[in-house]
A and B are shown apart, each in its own frame.
Chain A
Amino acid sequence: MKNNADDDEFYEQQVAIFDRLVEQIEAQLNKFGVDSLEHSDYSIYEDYWGYPQVKVSMLTLKMLRPPVIEQLQRVVKMYPGWEIVVAVVIDGHRDWPEMGLYVRSNEIIDGLQRQYFPEEFQDIRYPGARPGGQND
């Protein structure tokens, strides 16, 4: 029978995984962009909310390029059951609808609405991705 101590222990384990995952995501994103006081290409939301997820906001479109997402998937593959929620939050385009990706160990849920993107980003494709929405 589960008790509060079990719940606390499970919670602590999840928080520990979350922290490790955040660290590894940061290390990967840092290879492709910056998050500094002067300029940010991405922003990681570093709070664990009880679900096996880490949320990343991409603030520039270059962070949606396949090699970046591929690295994120490589990271999350080490943590089965976890996912990286990628939200698209581009400066100057706040009129765009909410869109993004769910990057999981076995799949990528693609909710990008490429019709809003400049031409050079409209042909972005992720191997093994399937279209989906926020509830997938």
Chain B
Amino acid sequence: MPSPLPRILSAVPQAWHVRLEIAKAVQTLAAQDRNQSDRRTELAALRRDLDDVAQEFANALRDCAFSIRSELRKYNADEPRVPKGNPDGGQWTRGPQYAASTANDWSFILRPHGGHHFVPRAVYKKFPFKSETRRVFDQARTGSLKARHGWSPEHADYNRAVEEALKQFLDKNNIEPEDITPDQAQEFVFEIIGSRDPRIRNYNLKLYRREIVHYILHHIPINPDGLEGGADEE
């Protein structure tokens, strides 16, 4: 019985110039594959960088609030000072107004309209908060966004996670919903901005990342062979 081996072997071209052409073709394809692989690696690195930038942005937003509050504490012009001529002239007297000076320190995250609520309306309207507390949640937003909604579950997950966090915040601080102050509401907003709950963190990072990319694409000239603009989809 004849062996099948010679038949298989005969399928390989014997002529050297043909083999050379095949080798060249294989090399070309491998090079293309390497280019694509390099490009994928590059895109993955870019994505990681953007994640880092977005995380830093979230951290900066949170840290900035505390820095500003700290600075405002130091330089609150309304705070009573020891009169001139006294050995301690110009120093703050640290009266009861000191504590009150922190009110509205975080107003820079408050916006009258637009974008994503850090604490969604669908969540805070379920609680019997005072109107001034509601106002904080209502105005704590990212600012205008431009994106079309799809069928992703992220919004529902985000709402549920924030609702859970809000219940925990009230329990932890032993506050009844009707007693929560605007300052405490702001504190909670910053807990959400800096949250490590993946349902909250990933969603907020996605928004920051999209806004950063949107800014880059619209404000920074890029080599057309480089990054491509994508549709604003959720």
Contacts and interface: CB of A to CB of B under 8 A. Distances in A.
B122 A50 contact: no
Contacts, number: 85
Contacts of B150: 85, 87, 98, 100, 134
Interface stretch (A51-59, A62-70, A73-81, A120-128): A51-59
A82 interface: no
Contacts of A46: 117, 120-122
A45 B159 CA distance: 8
Nearest to A134: B150
B151 A45 contact: no
Interface size grouping (class) on chain A: 20 to 34
Contact of A50 (B147, B151, B152, B155): B147
Interface bracket on B: 20 to 34
Interface in A20-55: 35-37, 43-51, 53, 55
Nearest to A44: B122
Interface string B190-229: 0000000000000000000000000000000000000000
Contacts of B120: 45-47
Interface of A: 11-12, 15, 35-37, 43-51, 53, 55, 57, 59, 85-89, 94, 98-100, 111, 134
A-B residue pairs, 4 tightest by C-beta: A100-B151, A57-B156, A50-B146, A89-B153
